[in-house]
Structure 1
Amino acid sequence: MKKLTVVSLLLLFVISVSAQPIFNLGLKGGLNNSKVTFKKSEINSETITKYHIGAFGRVGAGKIFVQPEAYFSAKGGELEGGNVLDVASEFDFNTLDVPLLLGIKIIDGEKANVRLMGGPVFSFLTSKDVDGDELLDPEYYKDQYVGLQYGIGADIFGFTLDFRMENSSNMYKHMDSDLNAKNQTFMISVGYKIF
């Protein structure tokens, strides 16, 4: 089994190296539908729609590529809960997100392609705001956290369209571990390759 895996990886590498190189740079933007989840079952979390805007690169050969990105992302949520919250809380936070995605083109046409991608995303908090009661204290937001992004995308001529899911590690770390929170974001992005 190990030999088969090694041979498959070597074959994939040889095919990729002998293929035409990929190098693209572009701009992108889109919508975030984010939700923050807590361990406490009494806290009901609702999604909120925000935006992201930034740039991407793509380097590779053949059907395999690496896609680093950097973009400003606005996220947040709304919380309600029976005995825990007397008043609903709304909160916003902004991050600089830096995903490093590994991708493969599953359909590779001359003018269009479809690709799968996934990898880590490194998020750096740039601002935080809480309205409502005192359940969420801004001091417990982490300055940086790591997540995982995965999804599907398409290129048509010079335009890109991506659908991705992002799941983070704890981005809100409270002394009460039941109040630790993770972010989930569904992203739709449209981009344009400058070259």
Structure 2
Amino acid sequence: MKKLLLVLLSVVSSTLFAQEKADSTLIKTDSVKVDTLINQKEVSKKRKKIEEDTLSYTEEFKRDRVKFQFGLRGGVNFGRYQIKEIKDVVRVTSSGLPQFPIVRDNFLNNAQSALGYLGGVFVRMTRGSFYFQPEAVYSQKGGKFDILQTNGNLFKRVNGTINAVDIPLTFGLRFRQGRIFAGPVASFPMSFNQEIEDALKVYTVKDFKDELLTRPKFGVNAGIGFEFKHFFIEGRYEGLFVNMIDYEIGPTNNPVQFQMSPSQFQISIGLVK
């Protein structure tokens, strides 16, 4: 009887051990299959990314897919003001009448540049070697002009700044790590610094800001950039088709037109993702 029990116990234990070993082998096999599938997916993703990165611009364009990116940029402006030079501008009193004795001044250009800053965001839509990039940029446009007395002495050197929100729409062409671009820009002036206001108040009693800050100005921008993965550096020129300031100054009975347009050379760095 004891021998029979021992035989039965031996058979049961052998069966249980065999079953446990089979289950363990099955688990290991399933784990290997899962790991293999995960690795295959990762390899497939990497291979797909490498294949996409090595596509030529022509092949990218044929895929009929637009790539969207977002970015930001900031930098500095090197600005100049171009004014319409005018002579014999009469200073006025608080009533708008000519000062007595009459004083006349000349408005002249100054070739010196002034430093400003800029910062903004953009969206880039790319297909092949072509891209379209609308932006929103806050820009400080600096510049200088001179006011001379009729005897040739300097009355004022105006260091002006105009703060504006620019909306450039750039159309670009990529080549390797570089790109070139150009397009229209709309500039919305927000404020002027005190030096411009003080300089013009000598020749007018009107508050010119209310009129000047309600109208967008249109121009063009163009430049070149270089990209290193998500980082880029670029230089661009921006100029306006119309005058930022176009205003009558002088006595009300004999006014003259003061016209001024800023132009900027910008150097900026940024990130695109």
Q: TM-score scaled by structure 2?
A: 0.58
Q: Which structure has the highest helix share of the two?
A: 2
Is this contact kept in 2: 1:145–1:171, CA < 8 A? yes
In structure 2, the residue matched to 1:89 is 158
**Structure 1 runs not aligned, ≥5 long:** 1-13
In structure 2, the residue matched to 1:153 is 225
SS in 2 for 1:190: strand
Q: Percent identity?
A: 28
In structure 2, the residue matched to 1:6 is none
CA positional deviation for 1:178: 5.2
Indicate whether 1:128 and 2:192 are aligned.
Answer: yes
Deviation per CA, 1:91-115: give whole Å up to 9, x if none: 221111110000011x22xxxx111
Q: What root-mean-square deviation, in Å, do the aligned CA atoms of Structure 1 and Structure 2 show?
A: 2.4
Aligned pairs, how many?
176
CA positional deviation for 1:154: 1.1
Q: 1:102 aligns with which of 171, 176, 192?
A: 171
Q: 1:40 to 1:21 in 2, by over 3 A?
A: same
Aligned counterparts, 1:23-172, within 5 A: 23-40=68-85, 42-45=107-110, 46-83=112-149, 86-105=155-174, 107-108=175-176, 113-131=177-195, 133-135=198-200, 138-139=208-209, 141-143=212-214, 144-168=216-240, 169-172=242-245
Bigger relative CO (Cα 8 Å, ≥ 6 apart): 1
Q: 1:93 is aligned with what amino acid?
A: I
Largest Rg, 1 or 2: 2
Q: 2:199 is aligned with what amino acid?
A: E
Is this contact kept in 1: 2:83–2:145, CA < 8 A? no
Q: 1:162 is aligned with what amino acid?
A: E
**Structure 2 runs not aligned, ≥5 long:** 1-57, 87-106, 202-206, 250-255
The 1-side partners of 2:199 and 2:225 are apart by 40
Q: Which structure has the highest strand share of the two?
A: 1
Q: TM-score scaled by structure 1?
A: 0.80
Is this contact kept in 2: 1:142–1:173, CA < 8 A? no
CA positional deviation for 1:142: 4.8
